[in-house]
Each structure stands twice: as C-alpha cells, then as structure tokens.
Amino acid sequence: MADIKRFLARRALTFIPTLIGVTFLAYIIAFAIPANPAQAWAGGIKANPEVVARIIREYHLNDPWYVQYYYFMKGILTNSIIDPRWGYPVMTYMLSRFPITFQLTLFALFFLIVLGIPLGIISALKKDSWIDALVRTWALVGVSVPIFWLGYIFIYIFFYQLGWINIAGIPYPKVHITGVPIIDALLSGEWNIVLENIKRFILPGFTLGFAGIGVIARLVRNSFLEAISSDYIYFARMRGLKYRRIMTHALRNALVPVVTVLGLQFGGLLGGAPITETVFSIPGMGRAMVDAIFSMDFPLLIAGTFLVAIIYVITNLIVDILYAVIDPRVRF
C-alpha cells in the first residue's frame, strides 16, 4: 500500500508539467491570432471604446504574453476568470457542460468495449473468415472516414429515413446526483428517461467510437492470437485443462495491452467530441469549445483545453493502476 501511495504522489507530480505544457500551447496559439478579441467581446465594430479599454485592462490584453499567461492561470485555478460573453466564471461554465460530454464518451467507450473486444476475439478464433475480414476492413475504414461525414450519413439513415432515433434535446431526470443524465436516471430508476437518453446518444456514441471499435478489435485480435499460440497455453493444453479455463488464460493475457490502448482511446474520444457534438447538436463541452472558437472566446477555449487535459491525465493514471491490477509483473 505504501508503494501505491508513493506511485500516486510521483504521478501527481508529473501532472504539473503536462498541464502547464498543454495550457501554454493553447494560450500561445490563442495569443498568436491577429485578432482583437476585446473589440469582439465588447460588441464588434460599433463597440464603445470605454468598454473595450476596460476589457483590455480586465484581461491584461496589452501586457506581454507571459504576464497574460500568469494572470490567466491564476484566474483558472481560482476560478475567477469571467467569461466575456456569458458573464459566468469560465470553469463553472465548462464544468456545467462536462457531464454531457462525459455521457457521450461513455457511450462511445461502451461500444469500444462491447463491440471491439468480442469482435477481436471472434476474428482471432475464426482467423481468415468473413468476420476477420470485416474487422480488418473496419479498422482501416474507421481511421480513414471523417467523423462529421459518418455522422451525417448516420443521421440521414437512422433519423431521416428510418426514424429510429432522436436528435433533439437532452432528457434530464428529476433528481440531480452526478449531473450525468443517464447515470442519474439509472440511480433514481426513471427508466423512460434512461431509454430516451439511449435513443438520443446511441448514434453519436457509435459515430464517435466508430474508429476506435476497429482499432480495438484489431488489437484484441492480434494480442489474442499471440496469447493463444504462446507456450503457456500449449502447456495448459498439455495439463488437460478445460477449454473454458484455457480461454480465460488466453483472454486475460490478451487484454493486458488492450487496457492501455483503451485509456489512450478515451483521450482520443474526448478529442473527437467537438465534431460529434456539433454534428449531432449535443450541448456538451466540445460544442462549447467550437462556439468559443467562432466567437474568439479564448478564456473559455483554454479553460476547456485545461479540463480535457486534466481528464486525460487522470484517465491515464487510472489505466496505470488497472494495468498493475491485471499484470502482476508491473509494480509501482
């Protein structure tokens, strides 16, 4: 246990440079854009010069970039940066959008696990069959097809032609526990809300996870094939173990590398969320970030980037812990 505490402390320290690096890059990009955000925030060309001047003072826009960055980070950490468009603190605003994005990535992750892993196993067990060809094609097509195109195609088929799904509004349950609609609905047992959420999120989730499903299936296939042709599986057969037990041995070994990639994919899903949310008009964090870009709302944009970075490093921390749970050879 002492080991795991030290490990967590060490990992937490590596968070700091990562987060500084990410926000710094985002900040520099925002800073480098030759625009006048103060004018835009104050109302465009006809803005009152006094208001513009106040905004410049308030957000330190005339100071050198490192001074701006310092005030900005301080403001993020104390949540005292007010969004110039909405008047809320930017972190509060982003965090209020977060549960929706989280729900979307959960759906995508669900497809990754529930479709990706079994497809990979089946294609390994039936090597060179049609399902194996499907998995291999899927992996290739998945990474080549742009999400927005796929999203519109799916909307056309499943909403416009078939009418199976819903693409407007987010049904919220009456209770508010975690803020994530479907989890709250499950906890309070509001089954029709759960169902409505599924109908609303199943397609965006699948779209967002589409590339990942192929990647995971391909990875599971290869690592399962490797496990099943290993010496310990052969020896397990020589020991006369039952088929199911042998498969359990193979599967557990095959899943070790998959856990890492699932963690990385989770980050990728968050990165894909802005496009998916825009296509399916889901009011999540990604959508808010896209809007922020269009209205030059840099404080909000960087706050969002900061939040995504935090989620990403935390996910990777969880993955590292899980990794050690699955594989006894990994020690902290």
Partner 1 sequence: MSGPQLREPLIEVKDLYVYFYTYAGIVKAIEDMTFTIYKGEKFCMVGETGCGKSVTSRALANIVPSPGRIVKGKVIYYRDGNPVNILELSEEQLREIRGKEIAYIVQDPSSALDPLYTIGYQIVETMIDHYTVKDWKEGYKRAVELLREVLMPDPEQRIRNYPHELSGGQRQRAVISIGLSNMPRLLIADEPTSSLDVTVQAQLLELLRRLVREHGLTLFLITHDMGVVAEMCDRVAVLYAGNIVELAPVDEIFKNPKHPYTMGLLRAVPNPQADIEKLEPIPGTIPNLIYPPPGCRFHPRCPFARDACKREKPPLVEVSPGHYVRCWLHAE
The residues that touch partner 1, with contacts defined as CB under 8 A, are 230-232, 234-243, 245, 249, 252-253, 256, 326-329
- Which is closer to partner 1, CB of 149 or CB of 232? 232
CA distance 18 to 24: 10
Task: Pick between residue 63 and residue 327 the one whose CB is nearest to partner 1.
Answer: 327
From the list 268, 271, 263, the residue with the least C-alpha distance to 320 is: 263
48 or 229, CB closer to partner 1? 229
User: Is the CB of residue 99 less than 8 Å from the CB of residue 178?
Assistant: yes
Q: 82 burial class (0-12, 13-18, 19+ CB within 10 angstroms)?
A: middle
CA–CA gap between residue 53 and residue 68 (Å, rounded): 16
Quote the tokens at residue 319: 């993955």
Shortest Å, Cβ 264 to partner 1? 22
Least distance (Å) from partner 1 to the CB of residue 253? 6
201: its two tokens: 């999120």
> One-letter amino acid identity for 231?
D
Residue nearer to partner 1 on the CB measure, 45 or 238: 238
Q: Which is nearer to partner 1, 193 or 236 (CB)?
A: 236
Phi, psi of 174 (to 5 degrees): -70, -35
